[in-house]
Structure 1
Amino acid sequence: MTSKITLFCIVLFISIQQVTAQTCTYKNDEGEKHLCGRFEISDLENDTTYNKWYVSNYNEFDPALKDTSWKKNLQKVNVDIFMGTWCGDSRNWLPKFVKLWDELGLKRSQLTFTALYDSDIEGKYKQGPNGEEKGLDIHRVPVFLFKRDGKEIGRIVESPATDMVTDVAQIALGYPSQPNYRAATYIMNLLNTQSMDSINAHINDHFYEIYHLVGKVNELNTLGYVYMDSDLDRASFVFMLNTYLYKHNPNVYDSYAEVLLKMGYEDKALTYYKKVLELEPKNENALEQVAMIEAKAENKE
């Protein structure tokens, strides 16, 4: 993942109030323009780069609202929305959420929108330019983070657990659904509340919990890559767990080897790249990495 961040800032000057508002974008390796950082919903509505999918999904969504007595509970709730204009789920669900919010007669001023970088931007995967996502355990997008008086009361991760209307209604009523990716959520909570020594002392119990919560191999693999750009120890822990959960999947060993190599553990990385080749002998990345590590070792002799 190597790319230089190119930012194009559209600056709107309001001279009377001397206020400057910025909408920032960047281009990925394919030359596609994407939003990054805080933005207004009008950016999606009006910019021809995004408005085709935004307007289409907004107009096509019919919330089919019946009993909306619960909406009064949302009048003093703010929603922080994290998304990626590069992300199919964000393009699908963000317009639908805004349509529902509008249909409920709630204020758009209660919504805050933040766009995160894609994986092409080295060291910035699913991060904002000013660290807007820090401390919020964002590992999938979109995320709709509901807050009352600054305290989280519920969230929707990537897609609704039931459907958008039901999930929002349950949050309003104080009975939020468990968000998607329960294993990743369990691990994030674990890493945020316990030391690695404490976690390792009860690793079998934690593994048992994760085993029964995990959905697919990509759940922890994605979480590992999010940590890769911020905390190598956490990334290593997550990738290691995935090698035990999916022992016959070469990709889990490739990801674990990648973080080990980044941490400087070349011998251990070599072991896991060779494990990839045991399962997938023609894996090009593993072949290249094994050749590179072995050549480097020979040069040291």
Structure 2
Amino acid sequence: MKKFITQIVAVSGLFLASQQLSAQKVVMNREVETQNDGKMLLGNQLKDQFLKAPYADWYVKEHDEYAIDQKAISELRKAKFNTYSLVVFMGTWCEDSHRDFPRLMKILEELKYSDNKLSIIAVNRKKESPTGDEVRYNIQKVPTIIVEKYGKEVGRIIEMPTSGCIERDLVEILKKDDSSVIKEIFSK
């Protein structure tokens, strides 16, 4: 009986180890060639990819020309924005992504936001990625910027910021998150 249990534990351990290894195989910086759109990024990306041709053409210009709202940046710092995680869905073929994604990156640089708290997922025109994350997050439009705390979504910016300014919309998301925590405390 002891031998049987030992074998089960060993097989279970091997199975779990193999599951862990396969779960960690995320292809980064995938680029595809399409008939209609030419080169396109697809799936999980590192921000350095956008400094390469042909993406740098639109990325660098928008990034460098964007004037950050310093008041909103100050509010984001006070609200400890760097403790939140971001999941960004964008399309390298999408004009709204061309405008807002570089702006978001400039905002994150200003906040000294950690790259390991940022997931950038490029989708095709059907809003699909190789990993299917768009289904989990119910992505209908791009760009979509999702703010998470402890793995739970606290808010999102869809297609374009409602205030006209990403950093102001982020401040509003954090304000709503703070007030919901306070309501939870006092409702008990």
TM-score norm. by structure 2 comes to 0.74
Deviation per CA, 1:282-301: give whole Å up to 9, x if none. xxxxxxxxxxxxxxxxxxxx
Local SS of the residue matching 1:174: helix
- For 1:106 and 1:20, locate their aligned partners in 2 and report how far apart those are by CA, in whole Å: 22
Match of 2:146?
A: 145
- For 1:127 and 1:20, locate their aligned partners in 2 and report how far apart those are by CA, in whole Å: 16
Match of 1:43?
A: 49
Deviation per CA, 1:34-90: give whole Å up to 9, x if none. 000001000001x11101110110000011302614424212100000000000000
- For 1:26 and 1:148, locate their aligned partners in 2 and report how far apart those are by CA, in whole Å: 32
Amino acid at match of 1:112: S
Gaps of 5+ in 1: 1-18, 119-124, 177-301
Give 1:116-265 correspondences, 5 Å limit.
116-118=123-125, 125-162=126-163, 163-174=165-176
Contact kept? 1:77, 1:110, Cα under 8 Å = yes
Local SS of the residue matching 2:29: strand
Contact kept? 1:102, 1:108, Cα under 8 Å = no
Post-superposition offset of 1:20 = 8.6
Amino acid at match of 2:32: Y
Contact kept? 1:73, 1:172, Cα under 8 Å = no
Contact kept? 2:101, 2:143, Cα under 8 Å = yes
Post-superposition offset of 1:135 = 2.2
Match of 2:70?
A: 65
Post-superposition offset of 1:173 = 2.1
Local SS of the residue matching 1:152: strand
Post-superposition offset of 1:92 = 0.7
- For 1:31 and 1:156, locate their aligned partners in 2 and report how far apart those are by CA, in whole Å: 25
Local SS of the residue matching 1:75: helix
The number of equivalent residue pairs is 151
Q: 1:171 to 1:29 in 2, by over 3 A?
A: same
Identity among equivalent pairs (%): 26
- For 1:87 and 1:147, locate their aligned partners in 2 and report how far apart those are by CA, in whole Å: 24
Which structure 1 residue ranges, 4+ long, deviate > 6 Å from structure 2?
none
User: Which protein shows a greater Rg?
Assistant: 1
Gaps of 5+ in 2: 1-24, 179-188
TM-score norm. by structure 1 comes to 0.47
